[in-house]
A and B are shown apart, each in its own frame.
Chain A
Amino acid sequence: MVVQLTLNSIVSAAGILLVSSGFGLTYRCCRFFNFAHGIVFTSAAYFALLARRHDFPVWAACLLGILVASAIGLAFDRAVFKPLRSRFATPLTLLLASLGLYILTRNALSLCFGEGTQILRTSAPTIGLPILGGHITLVQMIAVLLSALVIVILGLFLYSTKMGCIIRCIGGDPVLAVSSGVHVDRYFGATIALSSALAGLAGVLAAVDTDVTLDMGMNPLMAAVVAVVIGGEGRSLSGLALAALGIGFLQQFGVLWIGAAWQNTVVFALLLVFLFIRPKYFQNLSRRVFNMGA
């Protein structure tokens, strides 16, 4: 039982980590909570589904889903966030706009694909491979390995390439970045496209593992919000990974004591407690955020 719960925790932590790494990257570079991240996750699953219906192999469908997710993220940035930035938008404005985008896209998907639950996987769900007395499905194993791999690559990208360095620099002080001759808007676009690709990857993995529903992006998004806030506002990937693991374990082991239905409630109670006991931590960041667009 404990082994199974531990395995479940790790699997859900891997999913949370993938979503929150993108969410955190956007927060770190562009300094706003991009709630549209959740719908990018869902869109990837739906476009993979669409590709499957046209007889693409699973890997190609997943790849297509990820690419479409990235394109949708970029489109959001060009169509909404970029004009907002050039109008000196506050993080709050961008957050509200991203909420609007979430609703808009969710219902557009609903019109195209219908409200019901859809199935992407090719075979009936199996109990999975036995490991140490627990069970884990092949897809879950791939998801865990893939997300570990992706986080390592993301870390390498952020800390040892020039582009990663510039992205971190913009997150640190956008005005300084502009005055050093960085084309900031381009990097904002690239960051959001990259984050969306990460969300897309998480989305297609979730779609292959379980079902495809319109609200499948909501729970990962919520977990990502909590992980990013607790894990150091996306400034360190290891902090994020730790937070994701913590949330994963809390969700799964919380089930033991108070029942599966309370998962979200428990995690958000943790967030609220965290915000309340460490308020200083969330006050002192530079407020010079978007004043470079015009």
Chain B
Amino acid sequence: MDYILHILILVLLYAILSSSLNVVAGFVGIMSIAQAAFFGLGAYVAGVMSVSFGTPFLVNILCAIVLCGALGTMVGWPSFRIRGDYFVIATFAFQVIAFGVFNNWNAVTGGPLGIAGIPRPQLFGWHVASHVDFIVLIGGLFCFSIWITHRIGTSPFGRVLRAIREDETLAESLGKRITPFKTVAFAVSAALSGVAGVLYAHYITFIDPTSFSVMESVFIISLVILGGAGSLWGPIVGAVLLVTLPELLRFIGMPNTMAANIRQMLYGSALVACMIWRPKGLIGEHGFGKERTRS
């Protein structure tokens, strides 16, 4: 039973992550390979603060939101001035740098050994310890992030983002300043990933850099692509499918070492197959398929 609850918690965590990426990928139509960097930043903020200073959960989560948002703005602002595929390269660079910092700044992050013994969260006297408690907590924050993405999607702000996605020049000619809009979207996306990071750190109670590598970013991308970018539920569907399907492999008696490979192959092929046959993903609104921009 705990195992099923554990899977459910992972699904919720990854759903927060994928819908945070959706704010950038789905609404603005630009892919970021830095989601795991912000995820990791949130996790390390929670880890370092609660282990070294014993700060409560709520302070950690607020700090992570502020820090990830600020860093997202700092990275997003200059990055959005360059072309789409170079934006991907810029976020890729940021991801590699962030991983380097997690992995090598031994004094703070513990280097490759990571940080162990992160306490379970304490919230207004409620000690979150069992799986059910975590489902309530993470589910609550999941609903919060869905609400945020929904609000962004339906607000005038979100409509401008969609306009930018469909035709940047047109949006600009209507007097919208492109870069601030994109940057705010990117910062929101970064902050939401940071929230997921804090939850992850407090749930697993141990973090190390390997959980926040480039491959993790690509995994989050494939969740969004498979489920479908731009729609509210697409990334969630992607998270449900790509997190639970590999777990089913265990039940058909696949050895653990092979299962890890098959899991990765599954999301690699999901990425390739979606690009070829279904650029809009399963239920998405925005496809990464076609060249829309006029030359």
Residue ranges of A at the interface with B (Cβ–Cβ < 8 Å): 32-33, 80, 83-84, 87-97, 99-104, 106-108, 110-111, 115, 218, 222, 225-226, 229, 259, 261-262, 264-265, 268-269, 271-272, 275-276, 279, 282-283, 285-291
Contacts and interface: CB of A to CB of B under 8 A. Distances in A.
Interface stretch (B41-49, B63-71, B78-86): B78-86
Contacts of A262: 100, 104
B126 to A, nearest CB: 40
A289 B290 CA distance: 11
Contacts, number: 154
B54 interface: no
B89 A271 contact: yes
A275 B288 contact: no
B78 A92 contact: no
Given A97-B276, A261-B104, A269 B81 contact: no
Contacts of A108: 261, 265
B268 A107 contact: yes
Contacts of B86: 229, 275, 282
Given A104-B272, A279-B81, A286-B295, A95 B265 contact: no
Interface stretch (B146-154, B200-208, B214-222): B214-222
B261 A275 contact: no
A100 B270 contact: yes
Nearest to A267: B96
A89 B100 contact: no
Nearest to A265: B100
Dominant secondary structure of chain A at its interface with chain B: helix
Interface in B69-101: 78-79, 81-86, 88-90, 92-94, 96-97, 100-101
Nearest to A106: B264
B88 A92 contact: yes
A89 B268 CA distance: 18
Contacts of B272: 80, 97, 100-101, 104
Given A95-B85, A100-B269, A106-B268, 19 more contacts: A87-B279, A88-B291, A89-B275, A90-B84, A92-B30, A92-B85, A97-B272, A97-B275, A100-B218, A100-B267, A103-B268, A104-B272, A111-B261, A271-B89, A275-B89, A276-B79, A279-B78, A283-B81, A291-B295
A80 B261 contact: no
B268 A100 contact: yes
A104 B288 contact: no
Contact of A99 (B82, B85, B93, B271): B271
A100 B272 CA distance: 5
A169 B88 CA distance: 26
Given A88-B291, A93-B289, A110-B261, A269 B79 contact: no
Contacts of B225: 96
Contact of A282 (B82, B103, B261, B295): B82
Contacts of A269: 93, 97
Nearest to B81: A279
Nearest to A279: B81
20 contacts: A80-B276, A84-B275, A84-B276, A87-B289, A96-B288, A99-B218, A100-B222, A100-B268, A100-B272, A102-B268, A103-B265, A103-B268, A104-B268, A107-B268, A111-B258, A115-B257, A264-B100, A265-B97, A268-B100, A282-B82
Q: Which 8 pairs from chain A and chain B are nearest by CB?
A: A100-B271, A265-B100, A103-B268, A104-B268, A100-B272, A288-B295, A97-B275, A107-B261
Most buried by B among A90, A94, A285, A288: A90
A275 B31 CA distance: 17
Contact of A83 (B92, B103, B276): B276
A93 B104 contact: no
A272 B81 CA distance: 13
A101 B276 CA distance: 12
A262 B97 CA distance: 9
Nearest to A31: B85
Contacts of A265: 96-97, 100-101, 104
Given A269-B97, A272-B93, A275-B90, A104 B269 contact: yes
B103 A33 contact: no
Contacts of B264: 103, 106-107
